[in-house]
Amino acid sequence: MTTSLTRCRWANPANPLYLAYHDEEWGVPCHDERRLFEMLNLEGAQAGLSWETILNKRASYRVAFDDWDAEKIAAYDADKVAQLLANPGIVRNRLKVAAAITNAQAYLRLRASGTTLDAWLWAYVGGQPLGPEPGARPARTALSDRISKDLGKLGFKFVGSTIVYAYMQGIGMVNDHDPACFCRHQP
């Protein structure tokens, strides 16, 4: 029974979506382009909110944002933005919706330059996840500061250092599972 496993303190045991996210995604190295793009936008949507709020809306986000198809999102017009802002299944924040569109455009420019988001991100860590920081889990690091700045230069929005560090955790660039968590030492 998976509920008897020792997990990170933040994994809400009352929410099956949260437990599945913790057990199967968080801290697991991700190289899937669409998921990398999705998670970057969802981490930005989280700003000022809890991750659990966004996770609970993730299925609605996937429908609302065309399964995170960057080409479709980059072409969203005012009518589509109005539709998104009226959708109770997502965070209806005009700046965050606009950021997803801007991020799709920046992502497509990155791809047009001949690189993938996967290759671009993982180059910062030599293709290997970083181990946990000694002591408490930080909200940001010098590396997240650098990636945040570089994403901003590429035109991405809602990519502050704290958001980027949470993103790095979520896509497995860093393994920040609690020392007693059963996921801490999984490959």
Coil, strand or helix at 174: strand
Distance CA 47, CA 107 (A): 20
Our answer to whether residue 61 is catalytic in this structure is no
Our answer to whether residue 51 is catalytic in this structure is yes
What six digits make up the tokens of 38?
Answer: 């999705």
Select which of 18, 26, 51, 68 is catalytic: 51
Our answer to whether residue 167 is catalytic in this structure is no
Its sign, for the CA torsion 53, 56, 62, 68, is: positive
Select which of 18, 26, 38, 43 is catalytic: 43
Residue with tokens 């920040």: 176
Q: Say which DSSP state 134 is in.
A: S
What six digits make up the tokens of 2?
Answer: 């998976």
Q: HSE of 135 in the Cβ direction (CA atoms, 13 Å)?
A: 2
What six digits make up the tokens of 168?
Answer: 């790095």
| Length of the chain measured in residues | 187
Its sign, for the CA torsion 138, 91, 151, 113, is: positive
Catalytic residues: 21, 43, 51
